[in-house]
């Protein structure tokens, strides 16, 4: 076995915390999320276009960026991030992600090829480089199969960028191909699959990376709140919407980290197969982040139009975003403790029931009611935990 290839793997002396380089890598996604959110706001606020079609395009772009980030998180949890070769992979992925973010606002018009090329270079180049760097190590069979899958997926990405009339269909198929590969372990004929759930990973590191991306998404909503309020004409109504938006973000943070968020690292570390819980948590955090992003879009719509005039679909963001967050947070709770709090289920139902009231109530009123629901859940969490020993993880996975 090649010793230089073995040196790339995480060992027992590897740091469990995320490195400064990984935090630096995340800065590209701070910018990327602002581009995605702004594009989504434009999709629902601009009249004369098809907002549903434009929103679907934006979701596709976000999922492509998430694919790049989540695979990078698995790479640095599986390989030694202090090795120069792995650092090169992280920096190169960061640059490609930044290019994708820059191209995202016009990815379905003048910058389609730029977005597709950046994505393909990351998805194909990353496993190709790792396969070469691992040399004779058995683990190179995993990176090689990922490279093969990414190579096939690159075709519809590039063709779609060059053929505008087929771009949406081809990019949807290409993204579905990539996500199927990730979910099934990139199976190849005669060689089976290599699902991430069976990988040896640094569990604490992987948990911290998911939590950091969640905090990035919260930070993006803070940017929306501040930039929107500072750019709009001041009024008491907008000040109220600004305050409620900040309060909602604080409640999202509080609900996420109440116990389950604090013990994710412990749960993965103690699991007999850390990869199983890590893989499940990756999908859960995707939904959590989407819920936060949708909620952030709702902030801008409400701050600009607190008492009317917002885009027709604004309740989808003001109540639907928190509802999706709570539903995903309930799944997260099950992953850690094997149970789901009834308050989260009730909260989802109440938030969804508030959406039809958008025709009767003002946006700022609905935002206030959404914040009230979240506050009730946070208060219920605090009440149940009062005077009781901290619950230990008992993951059914």
The answer to whether residues 185 and 244 belong to one domain is: no
Per the DSSP assignment, residues forming a β-bridge with 271 are none
Q: Give pLDDT, residue 11.
A: 63
| In a domain? residue 395 | no
Q: Give pLDDT, residue 327.
A: 97
Q: Give pLDDT, residue 241.
A: 96
Mean pLDDT by 10 residues, the chain (397 residues): 66 68 93 93 74 90 96 88 91 97 94 97 96 84 92 97 96 97 88 69 79 94 94 92 97 92 83 81 94 95 88 89 97 92 95 91 95 96 84 82
| In a domain? residue 396 | no
The answer to whether residues 184 and 246 belong to one domain is: no
The answer to whether residues 364 and 231 belong to one domain is: yes
Q: Helix axis angle, 363-385 relative to 274-304, nearest 10°?
A: 140
Residue after which a domain boundary falls, among 161, 194, 227: 194
| In a domain? residue 217 | yes
What residues contact 168, with CB distance under 8 A and at least 6 apart? 57, 60, 108, 160
| In a domain? residue 108 | yes
Residue after which a domain boundary falls, among 136, 168, 194: 194
Q: Give pLDDT, residue 56.
A: 92
In our burial notation (b when 16+ CB lie closer than 10 A, e otherwise), range 316-339 reads bbbbbbbbbbbbbbbbbbbbbbee
Q: Give pLDDT, residue 240.
A: 96
| In a domain? residue 148 | yes
The answer to whether residues 216 and 182 belong to one domain is: no
CATH code, 361: 1.20.1410
Write out the DSSP string of 240-279.
HHHHHHHHHHHHHHHHHIIIIITSHHHHHHHSSSHHHHHH
The residue range of the domain holding 295 is: 203-385
Nearest to 40 by CA among 389, 367, 360, 290: 290
The structural domain count of the chain equals 2
Q: Give pLDDT, residue 351.
A: 97
| In a domain? residue 369 | yes
Q: Give pLDDT, residue 89.
A: 95
Residue after which a domain boundary falls, among 141, 169, 194: 194
The answer to whether residues 82 and 153 belong to one domain is: yes
Q: Give pLDDT, residue 369.
A: 97
What is the Cα–Cα distance from 115 to 258, expressed in whole angstroms? Answer: 38
């Amino acid at each position: 076995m090649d010793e230089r290839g073995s040196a790339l793997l995480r060992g027992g002396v590897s740091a469990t915390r995320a490195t400064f380089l990984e935090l630096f890598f995340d800065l590209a996604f701070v910018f990327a999320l602002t581009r995605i959110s702004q594009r989504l706001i434009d999709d629902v606020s601009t009249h004369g276009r098809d907002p549903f079609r434009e929103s679907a395009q934006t979701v596709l772009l976000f999922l492509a960026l998430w694919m790049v980030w989540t695979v990078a998180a698995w790479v640095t949890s599986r390989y030694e991030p202090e090795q120069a070769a792995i650092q090169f992979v992280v920096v190169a992925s960061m640059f490609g992600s930044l290019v994708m973010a820059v191209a995202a606002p016009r990815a379905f018009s003048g910058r389609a090829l730029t977005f597709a090329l950046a994505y393909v270079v990351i998805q194909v180049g990353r496993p190709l480089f790792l396969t070469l760097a691992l040399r004779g190590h058995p683990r190179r069979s995993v990176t090689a199969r990922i490279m093969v899958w990414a190579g096939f997926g690159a075709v519809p990405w590039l063709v779609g960028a060059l053929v505008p009339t087929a771009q949406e269909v081809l990019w949807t198929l290409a993204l579905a191909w990539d996500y199927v590969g990730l979910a099934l372990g990139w199976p190849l004929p005669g060689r089976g699959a290599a699902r991430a759930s069976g990988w040896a990973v640094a569990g604490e590191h992987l948990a911290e990376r998911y939590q950091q991306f969640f905090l990035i998404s919260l930070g993006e909503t803070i940017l929306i709140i501040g930039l929107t309020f500072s750019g709009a004409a001041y009024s008491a109504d907008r000040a109220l919407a600004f305050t409620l938006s900040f309060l909602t973000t604080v409640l999202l943070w509080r609900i996420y980290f109440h116990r389950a968020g604090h013990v994710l690292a412990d749960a993965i570390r103690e699991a007999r197969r850390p990869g199983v819980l890590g893989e499940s948590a990756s999908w859960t955090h995707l939904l959590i982040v989407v819920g936060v992003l949708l909620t952030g879009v709702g902030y801008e719509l409400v701050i600009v139009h607190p008492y009317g005039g917002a885009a027709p679909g604004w309740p989808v963001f003001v109540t639907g975003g928190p509802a999706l967050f709570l539903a995903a947070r309930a799944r997260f709770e099950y992953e850690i403790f094997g149970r789901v709090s009834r308050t989260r289920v009730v909260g989802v139902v109440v938030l969804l029931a508030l959406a039809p009231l958008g025709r009767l109530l003002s946006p700022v009123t609905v935002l206030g009611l959404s914040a009230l629901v979240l506050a009730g859940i946070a208060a219920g969490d605090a009440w149940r935990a009062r005077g009781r020993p901290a619950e230990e993880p008992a993951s059914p996975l």
